[in-house]
Amino acid sequence: MSEPLRDPLFESNRLRRRFASIEAAAVAGLVCAVGWSLSLRGLLATPGIGAPDADVVAFYADPNNASTAVIWLQVLVVATIAYLWFVGVIRGRIGDNEPRLFGTVFLGASILLAGLLFVGASLLAAPSVLVAVGDVAPDPGAVSLTRAAAAAVLSVFAPRVATLVMLSTASLGRATGALPRWLVWLTFGVGVVGLVNVTIATPTIYLTPAWIAVVSLVLLVRHPSRAFELDQPGAAP
């Protein structure tokens, strides 16, 4: 009987199982939720749309503000990597039995969400990066324009893509029993509301990190050994 193939990325099967465990996914989810929330809050702490020119000039005249924005960008990158690990563990545990419809939506929406967050955060930080890298004061009108573009990305596109992640995760959690029924139906409700919401409001930016934190905490508390695992076709009950 041939030996099972070992993952070349890990030194042992035990290490591989640890990194692919549901606890690892939950920890990655918490890192993502905290990192996204803090970084977005920090990047949003800049003069808003329509701020007086004097306030914009004074804010970006302080080089510390520009350096802080660059740091928050780094935090967001780390948090997004943790998010992709969260997604990867879930898909890995479902394995070859992954329902193609929900699996495709889950993976596609997850990658698109990460990209939208990168774009939105880049727009928020663009004036600060201009100061930090080029030592050039941004034009107040341009600052308002990039802030408006960031609002469109983070408050219109990203939340609706995030609802696809929520709905597909809830469907997979319901099919595998990984998530309790109350969280499944709560996710469905929040997802539907987010999908039909037509407002552009800052609080919607924090909805996705909050949901990821709740899911991660539930997985850590319940720590089901077979979370997000589907039975093999034809397996004995």
Highest mean pLDDT among 47-61, 66-80, 100-114, 134-148: 66-80
How many other CB atoms are found less than 10 A from the CB of residue 54?
10
pLDDT of residue 39: 94
The residue assigned the tokens 């009987």 is 1
- Decide if pLDDT at 198 tops 90: no
The residue assigned the tokens 């997985």 is 219
Rounded (10°) CA dihedral 156, 159, 163, 164: 70
Q: What mean pLDDT is predicted for residues 61-77? A: 90
Residues 6+ away with beta carbon under 8 Å from 83:
28, 29, 32, 36, 110, 114, 212
- Rounded Cα distance between 174 and 216, Å, is 15
Nearest to 73 by CA among 117, 107, 31, 103: 117
